[in-house]
Structure 1
Amino acid sequence: MIAHLLVRTAAFALGAALASHAAAQEARTVLPLASDWRFTGEDAPSDAAKPDFADDAWQAVSVPHTWNRVGYYHHDLGGTNTAATVAKKMGVGWYRHRFDAPANLAGRKTWIEFDAASRVAQVWLNGVLLGEHRGGFGRFRLDASAALKPGQSNVLAVRVDNSQPAAGSSTSDVLPLFGDFFVHGGLYRPVRLISTAPLHVDMQDFGGPGLYANTAAVQGGDAQVHVRLRLTNDGAKAAAASARIALIDRDGKVAAQATVKQALGVKATQEVAADLTVPGAHLWQGVVDPYLYRLRAEVLGADGKVSDTVEQNFGIRTMRFDADKGFFLNDKPYVLHGVGYHQDRDGKGWAISPADVEEDVATMREMGVNSIRLTHYQHGQVIHDLADRYGFVLWDEVPLVSAWTMMGKMEPDPALVANVRQQLSELIHQNYNHAATAIWSIANEVDFGNSLPAFVRGGTDGKTPDPMPLLHELQALAKAQDPSRPTALATCCEGRLFGADVAIPETAVAADLGGANRYFGWYFGKEQDLGPALDQLHAKRPAQPLSVTEYGAGGALTIHTDNVLGGAPDSRGAAQPEEYESYIHETALAQIAARPYLYASWLWNSFDFATTVRTEGDAQDINTKGLVAYDHKTRKDAWYFYKANWSDAPTIRITGRRYATRAYGITDVKVYSNAQSTELLLNGRSLGKREGCAQMVCVWPAVTLDAGENRLVARGIRHGAAVEDQITWTLSPEKRGHIAIDTGALVAAKSKTRLLGSDNWFEGGEVASLDKPADYGRKAELARIEGTQERDAIATYRKGDFAYHIPAPAGRYKLTLWFPAVAGQAKGGFDVRANGKSILRAFEPAAPAADAAAVARSFDVTSKGQIDLEFKAGAAPARISLIELDAQ
């Protein structure tokens, strides 16, 4: 029976509190097990668990550790991994560690605590099997009391297996089964030995602290805090225990306290509870004022001595989600704008340090982030503690991603259901006390239906399992374990336009809150489709709060475009320019900000991350949608777009600095600026000022660059502080008189003989290609094109009825038009006019005998500052692959 006591605030002397805290520190000891480990990346013989096993030949490592290094760029701008240094092996690794146990641990309880081991771990101490943990993300503890040798040397052995799940494999029932991220192996979070007295706070409650609190109510300035404490008696006799529970403010003063008594039988665990009333409670107010108390529970025996203590940071706050008005923190509207976050980084994989996470959080704070979606698995305590401290609101997620059965099965195996239940329980118990944690997510993108992507497809004979039974079970489990927080899940596919043969399950109804992963303008649709799609979801379920849980685009540091509308991006291939990523975020944020019913938005992603299902952009095995590169230092232009919009700090960023060698002598200059007025200078000449720029995006159109070096400086003042940015572009002298437009191309083709620019200065038409694009697991199929050394440029083209208005300095030019001709093409011609005069009538590029060919025609034209070309369809659509202008 739960003992329950309501106690108003009582003040006891600070000295007594400190004394009792000191006693508790003696009652519980923690021994970090970080250095002097031995590791082998192979499966060792069965006697590797024995204390006398010879491990001298194994590698000396420290923990945290992972054997994996995944993902690299084809350049040196954003990371140190290379093709030679990556290590993608998935399978078994072994760790061994010798440590001396203090003699005073005799007669006490001891546990080996792992903050994570990926993804299945078996643990031996002194040759005794302590147990196994299945799941790569949650903390777990194994009772080492019987195997430990106090006052002697001890040997800890751990076998870890991060094999990719497959039917019949050792990890077939351990989530995630699949995912667009790499699951690193190893002991990638800290390990420690914990010792307590026999009478202690429960250590075997899904890795949780055994102490749990939530804000029950805030009214009239006072707060009601409900506290639960799990007490365990591992002694040989029954115990008369009491628990002293207190909230301590930042000044060390007791804000509220209660004492609860509980009799405990032998080897018994009992939960007790108390309600604390905190007068004049100082609330946790997000990034504005993330005030934290210390929640302390002391366990006392019948003699009144403290036998154990647990402390947790705790923030008093209320949160609610409204389907029409969004998110409320402490009953006040609070706009959540955030990022998705993966825990790996270049050169370290998942074995990151607290300093690494602190750096990531600092990068987010500087950008103006106030919320993080912790995807797609349980993250460590460091990020949670930092979120509490800095006021981030968190979405926590269980690793149910895309698939929940092995290939061909219509129902999940019971062992897999048990595993996801275990991982959800660990997620909730271990993060229950964090003020930052707002949402428990029970799944991500389990609504593909029969449109499964290639990396999870196969063996289903067109049938797909129903996710709803499992989602309903997880919903019930989450609400039972924490009724104070809402559940959510993220969907990918509902509301999109698919073929008639595609069936998409409606999964959003399984959770309290909705979340939409939508990549309009990238994987599907048009960039302006996002807002209307969200409106449709909101109208369909008007009572369910809705958020945007993912949106974005790839952004390659070394790939650039002159016009983001000049061609189609290639979400599976190379055409992923940095400028297009910025464009998608600019258009998406405008649509999101215009919809106050959204309770949150999380862009995808804060940092580039490793995934072995991608070969795209300028990288291998990296998802390049991050706003910061894989080194977690190199910031892309889009990062500054959000900083200018979300942060109050003075911000100016001239975009396109990595596109330093310019293809065109006339170009728009775009600056992200939150200054009251922004001035742009080119080689010391002012190009004017901009004020009141929409979304903090200031543009100077059609800037004429100088031959040679172009030093651009943008400057302004915000809140009385001057802010400035400068970059240098180079325009080769010959480009002043030569323009080469790779039409239909978002990214200009590479040429050995000329510098091509991407499609620009067009009006109308559609883009097309003779090549078949890449897809997951499939390379692009390149057409064979005769009659040219510019195969890649000829492959893309613009077609239909369209025009070009090309800015060119006054003078005479040679105009060369390159047309694509395709074998078996429909008969028919089209017309071309230059500056209003016909230069081609009913023109029909000759069809080749091969797959395709390039057909060129040249003309003399005159520019008075602009050359106008018109392409008019006749019996066939007009089409053009390459436009060249050479000054005469």
Structure 2
Amino acid sequence: MPRPLYVFLLLLCALTIESQSQKTQTSTTASSTAAAPRVEVSLRDGWRFKLGPESTTELQAEPDATWTTVSVPHTWNRVGYYKDAPASHINTAQNVVTTQGVGWYKLAFTPPANVAGMESFLQFDAASRIATVWLNGTLLGTHKGGFSRFRLDSTAALKPGQENRLTVKVDNTKPAPGSSTADVLPLTGDFFVYGGLYRPVSLVFTRKMHLDLMDYGSSGVYAKTTSLASGRAQVDVRARVRNDSEQSGTVMLRTLLIDFMGNVAAQQEQTVAVEPASVAESIASLAVPHPHLWQGVEDPYLYRLVVELSDKSGQLVDRISSPFGIRQVRFDPNEGLFLNGKHVTVHGVGYHQDREGKGWASEPADVAADEAMMREMGVTGIRLTHYQHGEPIHDLADRDGLVLWDEIPLVSQWTLGESLQPTEGLRENARQQLRELIAQNFNHPSVITWSIGNEIDFGNSIPAFVGNKTGAIPDPLPLLKELNQLAHELDPSRPTTLATCCEGIRYAPDTVVPITASVTDLSGANRYFGWYYGMPSDLGPHLDALHRTRPLQPMAVTEYGAGGAISLHSDNALGGPESRNRPQAEEYQSYIHEQNWSTLSSKPYLWGTFLWNSFDFGSTRRNEGNAQDINTKGIVTFDHKYRKDAYFFYKANWTATPTVHINSSLYTERAYRVTDVRVYSNARMTSLRINRRLVGVLVNCPERICVWKDVVLSPGTNNIVASGSFPNGDVEDKTQWHLSDAAAKTVNIDCGALVAGDSEGKHFGSDTFFEGGTAGAISGPAAWGRVPVPPKIAGTNKQEIAATYRSGSFTYRISVANGSHHVILTFVEPSLHRGDRIFDVFANGQKVITNLDVAAAAGGSLTAYQRDFEVKATDGMVIIQFRPSKGDAIVSAIEVQ
């Protein structure tokens, strides 16, 4: 079937199903003469909420005026904000709410009278992270875990046709020894755990005999493709039939697979007898001739799986209907992922569920917009991190052919305090959340692996967000092996996996980490070469070494990337030291992705790659880039609106969609007259024009990166236009850069700076025009996610300019107009003593400074010292060379006037 027609029919079918679903849904005030076999009542509106006391006794004393009216989904938290241009952002320093603890919800509702005699279940799609529920004063139960659907039997407490009062206590207290959440995963993580009823709440009514709703939040139906051969497929469907009556009963179980045109592709009928107050299981084996396979993004064909229960008279007792894709997956350790025998390239992203202004309380339309933005970029796989995500993203992935990595929230830590063993309560919670993850997502063809953890292999290289530990380090292997075995018992058809951080990474000479990757069938490596450690060029040899260590285990790269702030810019991504905290130039993020992808795309043994991350997300561990409490590694901003430059790098590489994108578009006030212009383009020919003047045309730019070197800007406005030639016409991208008169005449370089520091009266650019040397900062590296505190530097009012430097033996080649120029050099000795560092400076071949000892000349370290001289340019260039005779040469700033 042609894909456009298939998509149209899929949409038509979805609308029909939605229409039918809406007809069977009942509002909280609706009534009818006869109830359907299954009725679902949305409990969305009319809730009252307050951040409250711990106990119900204290709560009863709270006056109504202290409660606010809310709709569900709802969270009381608002986390993370950008510090620049606050008026343009939703979250600000004034409106964030990071309070973690107890919140209370109450709702008065009237269910329809005609559901009398039916079983009723309160369904919560998620409540973070512990929920305790009362209905009409009766305690229904408590659920521990903030990410999975759970149901509570409300039959005995519900009053059909009358006003009912529902009360829910939700607790997202930060786990600590002795706390209410000490045994509830996750114990920690580089993300914020929001509180509230942040996914939908509903009431579900069924007959006494029904498909099991108390099976870990599942549908009570489990379907899988067991064979594909000779133009036939076999689909086994296991159904759990529950009898909540006091008498034994018999039903007819009918299982159907219906194709997209509404035809029955396969069916089977069985008689199922169920004892009172018990569950019986039955397996139907459906033989499907000439199956239309679910072939990922190439052809995401979906059948509808229908399971019906009927009584002896043929009356329908219960029915569920859900999409189902026939497919089989194979992972090869050398060649990657195969879907129904065809190789599939997985271009993936990590995905967190929060967004600015809404936190975790997003709507299905929000998730759909996110997924559409990912697909526009060419994404074919999503790692759902670091916890179970909701039904909407799974349904969308099924529909559009994306493959999913599903994960439980066993993140970085599994004990608290100095304990070396997880508590039995925590082990049980991990098992429970794994059971829920698998039960609720079993039938989705998009899900290809179950992940049992993320980065629980830090060993003694524990980052600050996990917390300090002394003495022995807990061993994660017993818990991992237990979960791995359980996952295989629950679903033998899918492989297990986990993501590691630290194997083969030497953070320090005494680093010892547990090897956890060998526990599961597949492995995923979170690796940040060029960001947290090492150089981008280290990634390839590192991955090859891991592959050699376990040559029979399929491997993916599950995190890589860098932070990027759209308000911070660099003239040269190689101009500064590592940038994990501040500053985080958008250009450096692009550089890291370019370098990493160049390596990853050359490794055929990787079954998938998942960049980190699709969107900026909330994390109170972070103070970096231009943001507070936001992890800025997203390639789209926290409001899910602005696509950073790196987004277009992948779009140009991962799609055939005509793509032309000028980098650094938001770097509008330029520091230098001469600059490189970078454009991501998948056009065969790409041209660049500035103020209608053709700069040049490039053909088939390698890795879709077009670079025009040493482009000269004009004073005032520069209209930049990049144009790509495609079969269906040209595609353009435009931006405007401004060059001040001062910047056109002078060159002010903040040496060693990735992003230029602030300076009174002068506009400095970041470090560029250099050859050789190493960038450094006097303040040194910062702690995890925190800003370094620079020392006070004497003798200057340009603290940020003086605090960075370039050292070694190096040269600056600075393009200028011919004629005489006045050069001012600023030096600061970071730490050495007199006589430890001696060097000469040459300008256009002439020695202008001899045997400079900065410490001696300045009178000690951390004191600014300046020298100036005249130089004449005759060929449009000032060349300044720094040549050491002892130690390394050093310079903090260069001004050419």
Aligned to 1:825: 833
1:356, 1:221 → 2: CA distance?
40
Aligned to 1:603: 611
Aligned to 1:652: 660
Q: Secondary structure at the match of 1:788?
A: coil
Asked whether the equivalents of residues 330 and 339 of structure 2 are also in contact (C-alpha less than 8 Å), the reply is yes
Aligned pairs for 1:267-666 (under 5 A) are 267-458=277-468, 460-571=469-580, 573-666=581-674
Give the C-alpha shift of residue 305 in structure 1: 1.5
Say whether residues 1:144 and 2:154 are aligned partners. yes
CA 1:676/1:548 → structure 2, altered by over 3 Å: closer, same or farther? same
Aligned to 1:12: none
Say whether residues 1:66 and 2:75 are aligned partners. yes
Say whether residues 1:223 and 2:233 are aligned partners. yes
2:720, 2:631 → 1: CA distance?
31
Q: Secondary structure at the match of 2:300?
A: coil
1:840 to 826, 830, 849: 849
Alignment size in residue pairs:
866
1:350, 1:246 → 2: CA distance?
36
Amino acid at match of 1:162: N
Say whether residues 1:133 and 2:148 are aligned partners. no
1:111, 1:719 → 2: CA distance?
57
Amino acid at match of 1:124: W
Amino acid at match of 1:806: I
Give the C-alpha shift of residue 824 in structure 1: 5.4
Aligned to 2:27: none
CA 1:682/1:88 → structure 2, altered by over 3 Å: closer, same or farther? same
Give the C-alpha shift of residue 462 in structure 1: 2.8
Amino acid at match of 1:392: L
State which drifts further: 280-289 or 595-604. 280-289
Aligned to 1:237: 247
2:878, 2:726 → 1: CA distance?
41
1:39 to 39, 43, 49: 49
Give the C-alpha shift of residue 841 in structure 1: 1.4
Aligned to 2:886: 875
Amino acid at match of 1:858: D
Aligned to 2:774: 766
1:678 to 686, 697, 717: 686
Amino acid at match of 1:565: L
Q: Secondary structure at the match of 1:630?
A: coil
CA 1:843/1:53 → structure 2, altered by over 3 Å: closer, same or farther? closer
CA 1:165/1:39 → structure 2, altered by over 3 Å: closer, same or farther? same
* Gap regions ≥5 residues in structure 2: 1-16, 25-33
Asked whether the equivalents of residues 623 and 786 of structure 2 are also in contact (C-alpha less than 8 Å), the reply is no
1:405, 1:146 → 2: CA distance?
39
Amino acid at match of 2:544: D
Give the C-alpha shift of residue 846 in structure 1: 4.2
Q: Secondary structure at the match of 1:39?
A: strand
Amino acid at match of 1:248: I
1:48, 1:27 → 2: CA distance?
41
Give the C-alpha shift of residue 820 in structure 1: 1.1
Say whether residues 1:179 and 2:180 are aligned partners. no
Aligned to 2:31: none
Say whether residues 1:214 and 2:224 are aligned partners. yes
Question: Which structure has more RCO (C-alpha within 8 Å, separation ≥ 6)?
Answer: 1
Give the C-alpha shift of residue 48 in structure 1: 7.6
Say whether residues 1:691 and 2:699 are aligned partners. yes
Aligned to 1:706: 714
Aligned to 1:6: none
Cα deviation 1:328-358 (Å, max 9, x = unaligned): 1110111001100000000000000011001
Give the C-alpha shift of residue 76 in structure 1: 3.7
Cα deviation 1:433-478 (Å, max 9, x = unaligned): 00111110000000000110011122x3231100000000000000
State which drifts further: 821-830 or 38-47. 821-830
2:612, 2:466 → 1: CA distance?
21
Amino acid at match of 1:115: D
Cα deviation 1:16-67 (Å, max 9, x = unaligned): x99x9999992000000000000001226525888x9964541000000000
Q: Secondary structure at the match of 1:874?
A: strand
Aligned pairs for 1:48-67 (under 5 A) are 55=64, 57-67=66-76
1:849, 1:813 → 2: CA distance?
29
1:79, 1:412 → 2: CA distance?
41
1:76, 1:289 → 2: CA distance?
44
CA 1:220/1:27 → structure 2, altered by over 3 Å: closer, same or farther? same
CA 1:720/1:824 → structure 2, altered by over 3 Å: closer, same or farther? closer
TM-score normalised by L of structure 2: 0.95
1:104 to 102, 110, 114: 114
Give the C-alpha shift of residue 784 in structure 1: 1.6
1:513, 1:718 → 2: CA distance?
40
Asked whether the equivalents of residues 72 and 201 of structure 2 are also in contact (C-alpha less than 8 Å), the reply is yes
Amino acid at match of 1:872: R
Asked whether the equivalents of residues 395 and 444 of structure 2 are also in contact (C-alpha less than 8 Å), the reply is yes
State which drifts further: 199-208 or 301-310. 301-310
Aligned to 1:5: none
Aligned to 1:8: none
Asked whether the equivalents of residues 569 and 575 of structure 1 are also in contact (C-alpha less than 8 Å), the reply is no
Asked whether the equivalents of residues 221 and 240 of structure 2 are also in contact (C-alpha less than 8 Å), the reply is yes
Asked whether the equivalents of residues 446 and 467 of structure 1 are also in contact (C-alpha less than 8 Å), the reply is yes
Cα deviation 1:772-800 (Å, max 9, x = unaligned): 33213754131221111211111111111
Aligned to 2:276: 266
Aligned to 2:5: none
Amino acid at match of 1:794: A
Amino acid at match of 1:836: G
Amino acid at match of 1:542: P
Give the C-alpha shift of residue 849 in structure 1: 5.5
Q: Secondary structure at the match of 1:786?
A: coil
Give the C-alpha shift of residue 221 in structure 1: 2.3
Cα deviation 1:237-278 (Å, max 9, x = unaligned): 110122000011111111100011121111110110011011
CA-based RMSD of the aligned residues comes to: 1.8
TM-score normalised by L of structure 1: 0.95
Aligned to 2:129: 119
State which drifts further: 75-84 or 586-595. 75-84
Asked whether the equivalents of residues 170 and 195 of structure 2 are also in contact (C-alpha less than 8 Å), the reply is yes
* Gap regions ≥5 residues in structure 1: 1-16
CA 1:53/1:854 → structure 2, altered by over 3 Å: closer, same or farther? closer
Asked whether the equivalents of residues 650 and 721 of structure 1 are also in contact (C-alpha less than 8 Å), the reply is no
Q: Secondary structure at the match of 1:187?
A: coil
Asked whether the equivalents of residues 452 and 497 of structure 2 are also in contact (C-alpha less than 8 Å), the reply is yes
Asked whether the equivalents of residues 49 and 124 of structure 1 are also in contact (C-alpha less than 8 Å), the reply is no
Cα deviation 1:726-782 (Å, max 9, x = unaligned): 000000012121001111111111111111111111111112222133213754131
2:227, 2:726 → 1: CA distance?
40
State which drifts further: 698-707 or 802-811. 802-811
CA 1:607/1:30 → structure 2, altered by over 3 Å: closer, same or farther? same
Amino acid at match of 1:418: E
Give the C-alpha shift of residue 719 in structure 1: 3.2
Amino acid at match of 2:262: G
Asked whether the equivalents of residues 79 and 629 of structure 1 are also in contact (C-alpha less than 8 Å), the reply is no
Amino acid at match of 1:650: P
State which drifts further: 491-500 or 516-525. 491-500
1:329, 1:832 → 2: CA distance?
62
Asked whether the equivalents of residues 652 and 672 of structure 1 are also in contact (C-alpha less than 8 Å), the reply is yes
Asked whether the equivalents of residues 554 and 607 of structure 2 are also in contact (C-alpha less than 8 Å), the reply is yes
